[in-house]
Every structure is written in C-alpha cells, then in structure tokens.
Amino acid sequence: MPRLIVTDRKGNTREVEGEAGLSVMEVIRDNGFDELLALCGGSCSCATCHVHVDEAWMDKVGGPHPDEADLLDSSDHLRPNSRLSCQIRFTEELDGLAVTIAPED
C-alpha cells in the first residue's frame, strides 16, 4: 500500500498507509486524524479538508480544478500549494506524498 505522510495542526508528523484509489481525505480520516472534518464527505462543497501539499509533490498532484479553487479562495490559509484533500486521488504514484492539514478557518 502507498504511504502518506501527514502533519497535523500541532506539527506532529505521522506516516500512514492508504488504499490506492481512495482520496487523500479518506486516507487521512481512516487513519484517525480527527481534525480533518471533511463535512461534505468528499463532494467538493466545503473546504474542511483543506491541506497544504509539500512543494516537492505539487507537479505530481497538480493544481485545483475551478470549483475546488473557488472553495479554497474563501480560506484565510490559502497558499499556492493548497488543495482539498477530497479532490486528490491517492495512487501508487503518490507513495510518500506529504501533506499538512491546514489551520481551521
């Protein structure tokens, strides 16, 4: 299984495994990170699964699509590497992906 490196809001980093094909949000949630609310369940209608993708991974992950970008624009913590974790499909190619859970708005 591919690995995901998650840094929580307190700065603690943990490496977890996730099933390829799930979203990064699902992998984070399934591994007990309660601070990632994901209130809409992955339907891209809120921004409560906002993460900052490690800069080294941005080329592989890519930028947000227009609907996602609109939601991210409302965040006080928007960065060039901001993504909604529900919109990143976790694949074998993303083994070792590092993300930081964004502060809550």
Q: What domains sit in the chain, N to C, each tagged with a CATH number?
A: 3-101 (3.10.20.30)
- Tell whether the torsion through CA atoms of 69, 75, 81 and 84 is positive or negative: negative
- Residue 32 DSSP one-character state: T
- Tell whether the torsion through CA atoms of 30, 14, 63 and 20 is positive or negative: negative
Give 65-84 pLDDT, tens digit per residue. 999 999 999 999 999 999 99
DSSP character string of 92-104: GGGTTEEEEEPPP
Give 24-56 pLDDT, tens digit per residue. 999 999 999 999 999 999 999 999 999 999 999
- Max Cα separation, the chain? 34
